[in-house]
Amino acid sequence: MQRPHRVAPARPKRPGVHRLLLAQVGVILTVVALSLIVGKGSVTLSALLGGLVALIPNAWFAWRAFMYRGARFRARMIGSLYRAQVGKYMLVMLLFAVVFSIVPPQAPVWFFATFALVQGVYGAGPWLIGRAGSH
């Protein structure tokens, strides 16, 4: 008698979101290097903090948003996306509050410019992730 052949359910692959996060790290490092050339240490610290305040919530968002995949789990998928966004919003506010109360940036322009640049990496998302979800 032939035993039934058991196959583990195929797990959907996660898209290349890590490439997006790596690009954000690259933007931070580039701006920090530029600030080292152009400005003083306080400028570098401001740029670094601005980048980290954007990067940490984005990493949380990327991890939390893709906890569930597949059409069977669509209700959980949406719930996870909403929770990811709420967490990101709270995390951004918390990090801003911590940075501004403990280490107020000496160069606010560099701080917000790095923050905006890291957020802007999402504009290159389709190119960085490739044909989204097709691999």
Partner 1 sequence: MELVYIAAALMISGAAIATGIGFGLLGGKLLDSTARQPELSDQLQTKTFIMAGLLDAVPMIGVGIAMYLIFVVAGG
Site residues (vs partner 1, CB under 8 A): 12, 15, 17, 20, 53-54, 58, 61-62, 65-66, 69-72, 74-75, 77-78, 81-82, 85, 88-89, 92-93, 96-97, 100-101, 104, 108, 112, 115-116, 119-120, 122-123, 125-126, 129, 131-134
Per-residue b or e along 50-86, where b marks 16 or more CB atoms closer than 10 Å to that residue's CB: bbbbbbebbbbbbebbbebbeeeeeeebeebbeebee
Report the nearest approach of partner 1 to the CB of residue 22 (Å). 15
Distance CA 135, CA 129 (A): 10
> Which residue bears the tokens 């530029």?
34
- Give the residue with the Cβ less far from partner 1, 36 or 126: 126
Distance CA 118, CA 32 (A): 12
Report the nearest approach of partner 1 to the CB of residue 47 (Å). 14
Report the nearest approach of partner 1 to the CB of residue 113 (Å). 10
